[in-house]
Chains A and B, each alone.
Chain A
Amino acid sequence: MTDPAVISLGDIRGADAARVGPKMARLGQLAADGWRVPDGYAVTAQALDGWLPEAARGELARMFSVAVSGTAELSALAVQARALIDAQPLPSRLADAVAGAHGRLADRTGHGESLRVAVRSSAVSEDGHAASFAGQYETYLGVSGVEEVLLHIRRCWASGFSAPALAYRSRFGGPSPLRVHDLAVGVLELVDARSAGVAFTLDPVTGDRSTLVVEGNWGLGESVVSGHVTPDHWTVDRASGQVLTARTGAKRAWTAYDAAAGRAVLAPLPDELAAQMCLTDEEVRYLCAQAVAIESAAGGVPQDVEWAVARDLPFPDSVFFLQHRPETTWTGGPGGPARPASAAPAPPEPEAEPAFDPVQYALRNVFKVPEK
């Protein structure tokens, strides 16, 4: 009996990381442990391994047989590779399995045809302890319809060939571009988020475990995770659960679903929202209590937890957890990447960022110049 190509989230547990990637495995376990997570399914890495027709595979092998030196060359190669992959249809058996799972999801959620999903890459080697691949694989928000879902599954898979992902792999290790069987794809109901962001169970700047940090913005979490805005920022005392500081971020933009575009886009944030904090203190305290419990369930290792607060549900049923993972900067040890943890995207050239810039540090922490 062969393993299923597609697994419903309700059947995924922590032990399934080798099939669905740690991200989806942890999410499945989180759901099984009783946390509110969006419903969905995962296409396994094994099912996606080798899906590419023989001819296309040969063409990819030929492209990567030459040594690549510069960033420009790498980018050109990445564009070619992704165009090639985009154009290949998924094998019909796999497409059928996805269509079936998608239909069941549409029924379970009650949305039917109008179901909107997030299609997320979930690399088997992603976000382990050794090196954070955060941001190197793509996520597509607001996808609807089976055909679109199939296209974006292929795009997720192809994102393993993006220039930053290729550069990141060559720098920090990981399978060669042709050994692509380490990528699974998760398809999750898109939470209609009023607000979303990240909660850290330690202070990601200082590593102080007595303090939790919550960052968030209006709309979907993508604007926070991608570092496009300076989010609202709270610090919370772990012991008492009290909010220590609350800072309104310079939130000029948000990620919102654009019906015309048929997907989520980054758009200017309406002025009346920009000045307001996107969470109540009660929500912040609740998020932190849950994040501490998630950390506990994860063996006490500090976590960053992505969350979303749904627009039309009563608190606390409105609070969803989208993923969590070990906090890499403070738990990675000396071999880990030496960059400050934040919601900012991984730099395209990680080694170019100095571990410590005395000038910027002095401006912020000695002369106390506020960030603009």
Chain B
Amino acid sequence: MSGDSPRTFPVDEFVKEELYPGYRQAFGSQPFVAGPVRPFSLADNERYWLRDSLHFSEGMVPASIATLDDAQTWGAQLGAEIVGVPPTRGSVNRLAGTHVYLGTIDVDTQWQVQARAARFGTYVSPILADFNAYWTMRAGELTAAYEHFDHLDLTAMSPAELWTTLKDAYAFHRRAWFIHFEVMYVLTANYLAFYALAEEIGLSGAQVSSFLAGEQTFYSRTDEELWRLAGRARELGVDAALLHGSPLDMRARIAALGGGATWLAELDAFLAVYVQRMEETCRIDIPSWVEDPTPALYSIGAFLAKPAGFDFNVARAAAIAERDQQIDEARRAVNGADLARFNAALASNQAANFAWWNEEHNYLIDRRAGIPVRRATLELGARLADAGRVADPTDLFYLFKPELFEVMEADPAVSGSGGGGRWADLAAMVPDRRAYFEYWRERGPSLPTMLGTIPDTVPDPIMIEVFGLSGHFLETLRGDGASGPAAVTEIRGFPAAKGTAEGTARVITTVGDLHLVQPGEILVCGGTTTEWTPAFGIITACVCDTGGSLTHAAIVSREYGIPCVVGTAIATQVVKTGDRIRVDGRAGTVQVLA
């Protein structure tokens, strides 16, 4: 508060009318709950915008802007509206070039706050009363949709059937993201109530997520299986082929080895269960594991590089023992009515566990909901390429959804009777758009963490706990221009997982570079998501620019038993790859030693 004037990082250089070369949005046909994805405008200098490198590190192709619309904009806004979150109407996105910035829409009249609060009570209470039944129902709906989409034989479809399937896939994607935010807001409230109660009764709110650790998720099972396959590779003598050489011909090289066939059969058995996942949220332009299992092979190779291996049973047993010990300690520190409230809040959070769901839901929503859209888009693209409408099937990822829908609705059979000239116009723009994406992908790591006016505090608790917009984070960002990151030798952040570690830093700004991480290094990055998880088996500590108690890095570090500091705001600017650094996960500090 003091005398600080608010600091503005101007959005001016990113202000555009077109989202991509040749594309301007027309909003008339696209009603939004609160506001769609847009390019920056000068008015956006008045608000704060956080770079979402956590979910979208490389930028968005045009087709992925539609899935982004469904997810962080429409889904979040509808979720906030229906659940009735009192202080926020959800998140809204702006694009700097192709890169996603995230803002929130505050509810600013008292009447609306009260009306939403009343709605919130009646909506959320029955869900929390039996969360298991509720999530079973929602997960069942999602699973039934995947049963439908995964088993469609797209190549056998008539053009009209295929087009209908793509429309269905988009409709499902949107629905999946409403479910995402509906559940997320419900669980966030439950979690944050526990967090606030802990603070009220003299415990630390930061501890709360560790009370909820140790639950198995689909991804912890995936990682466990990958470690098991690494161990089997050693036993069967195929580990050298996994460690060296390009993943492209890895399969053939393994098959040529004595135990190769056995190991590949086990790999395929694994893939059959675990491959329905994409590498980034909404990025329908990136192959899923079912198409390209390279990320799985990379993970196995990374695990093999760590001689001692990683014992999941030991790690999980340790995580659970640590959790139970912390719960016992907390119970000893409070008494009377406090203890009763603590126990009730803990029980509510064990039954409706955000720390668990935050990982688990990725499998059913974030990393999977876009796969039906991707598959149908690629099949359509293949037919359009055959028909000479586009040069390559993946060209469709460089068309905006309204462009594709306009031309396809006019001529779903792609017979040429309608929209023929339009196809030529669209195809002509693709090379420019590909170049535009590449240009911005390279600029990505140098983009500011925040744009617009950085506030003293942010009212939206989700922005604080998930994205880490704490007072400290904002203060650091406001201040970092004054002394310059070069002068900084100690960074502070949120103490996300306890323990201390000293080691060599590896600064990674995009998940594509994750294979550079060596065993024993300390990972320093903007933030992590599911596809970063394999690295946690080989690193000795983790430091992130963004994040709070509920972020992926915080949760996974506790499961893997390594120290972690998140929400530092500037770690990737201050620390360089090769620096020796010391991470104190209890104090929440990172020191640059040399």
Q: Please give the residue numbers on chain A whose beta carbons come within 8 Å of chain B beta carbons, in ascending order.
A: 205-207, 329-334, 336-341, 354-363, 365-370, 372
Contact = CB atoms under 8 A, between A and B. Distances in A.
A357 B125 CA distance: 9
B335 A333 contact: yes
A329 B337 contact: yes
A358 B336 contact: no
A360 B121 contact: yes
Contacts of A365: 193, 196-197, 200
A206 B200 contact: yes
Contacts of A331: 336
B196 A207 contact: no
B201 A206 contact: yes
Contacts of A336: 336-337
Which 5 interchain pairs have the tightest Cβ spacing?
A338-B340, A356-B344, A355-B340, A358-B193, A362-B193
A367 B86 CA distance: 6
Most chain B CB within a 10 A radius of its CB, from A331, A337, A368:
A368
Contact of A359 (B87, B110, B124): B124
Nearest to A337: B337
A369 B114 contact: yes
A340 B194 CA distance: 16
B341 interface: yes
B117 A367 contact: yes
A362 B200 contact: no
Contact of B193 (A339, A355, A361): A361
Which has the most chain A C-beta neighbours within 10 Å: B125, B341, B345?
B341
B461 interface: yes
Given A334-B335, A334-B339, A363 B86 contact: yes
Contacts of B192: 362, 366
Contacts of B338: 207, 330
B573 interface: no
Interface string B189-229: 11011111100110000000000000000000000000000
24 contacts: A207-B337, A329-B336, A333-B335, A338-B337, A338-B341, A356-B341, A356-B342, A358-B190, A358-B194, A358-B345, A362-B189, A362-B192, A362-B196, A363-B117, A365-B197, A366-B193, A367-B85, A367-B86, A367-B120, A368-B87, A368-B459, A369-B87, A369-B113, A369-B114
A40 to B, nearest CB: 33
A234 to B, nearest CB: 19
B348 interface: yes
Nearest to B85: A367
A366 B120 CA distance: 13
Contacts of B190: 358, 362
B337 A330 contact: yes
Nearest to B347: A356
A92 B24 CA distance: 97
Contacts of A372: 114
Given A334-B339, A361-B197, A369 B344 contact: no
B128 interface: yes
Contacts of A356: 193, 197, 340-342, 344-345, 348
B155 interface: no
Nearest to A204: B337
B344 A367 contact: no
A363 B121 contact: yes
A333 B339 CA distance: 9
Contact of B196 (A337, A338, A361): A361
Interface centre among B117, B125, B344 (most CB of A within 10 A): B117
A339 B117 CA distance: 23
A338 B337 CA distance: 5
Given A338-B341, A369-B114, 9 more contacts: A207-B337, A334-B335, A338-B340, A341-B337, A355-B341, A356-B193, A362-B193, A366-B192, A367-B120
Interface of B: 85-87, 110, 113-114, 117, 120-121, 124-125, 128, 189-190, 192-197, 200-201, 335-345, 348-349, 459, 461
A369 B338 CA distance: 23
A82 B349 CA distance: 46
B117 A369 contact: yes
B121 to A, nearest CB: 5
A207 B201 CA distance: 8
A48 to B, nearest CB: 34
B337 A367 contact: no
A333 B201 CA distance: 15
A14 to B, nearest CB: 25
A51 B439 CA distance: 97
A370 B349 CA distance: 24
A365 B197 CA distance: 8
Contacts of B200: 205-206, 365
A145 to B, nearest CB: 43
Nearest to A367: B86
Contacts of B197: 356, 361, 365
A198 B89 CA distance: 40
Contacts of A207: 201, 336-338
A337 B337 CA distance: 7
Given A359-B124, A359-B189, A369 B335 contact: no
Contacts of B348: 356, 358
A341 to B, nearest CB: 8
B337 A363 contact: no
A360 B118 CA distance: 10
B196 A330 contact: no
Contacts of A361: 193, 196-197, 345
A367 B461 contact: yes
B565 to A, nearest CB: 24
A366 B338 CA distance: 18
Contacts of B340: 334, 338, 355-356
A354 B129 CA distance: 12
Contacts of B349: 358
A338 B341 CA distance: 8
A358 to B, nearest CB: 4
B500 to A, nearest CB: 32
A372 B121 CA distance: 14
Contacts of A355: 337, 340-341, 343-344
Given A207-B201, A356-B345, A366 B337 contact: no
B461 to A, nearest CB: 5
Contacts of A362: 189-190, 192-193, 196
A336, A361, A362, A367: residue with the most chain B Cβ atoms closer than 10 Å: A362
B563 to A, nearest CB: 28
A18 B348 CA distance: 44
Contacts of A339: 337
B121 A359 contact: yes
Contact of B336 (A332, A363, A368): A332
Contacts of B128: 358-359
Contacts of A367: 85-87, 117, 120, 189, 461
A129 to B, nearest CB: 11
Contacts of A338: 337, 340-341
A230 B339 CA distance: 27
A183 to B, nearest CB: 27
A339 B86 CA distance: 26
Of A329, A333, A357, chain B has the most CB atoms within 10 Å of the CB of A357
A156 to B, nearest CB: 29
Given A329-B337, A330-B337, A369-B86, A359 B120 contact: yes
A263 B337 CA distance: 37
Contacts of A366: 189, 192-193, 195-196, 461
Given A206-B200, A366-B196, A367-B117, A334 B189 contact: no
Contacts of A206: 200-201
A338 B193 CA distance: 18
B141 to A, nearest CB: 24
Nearest to B337: A329
A330 B120 CA distance: 30
Contacts of A354: 344
Nearest to A330: B336
B234 to A, nearest CB: 47
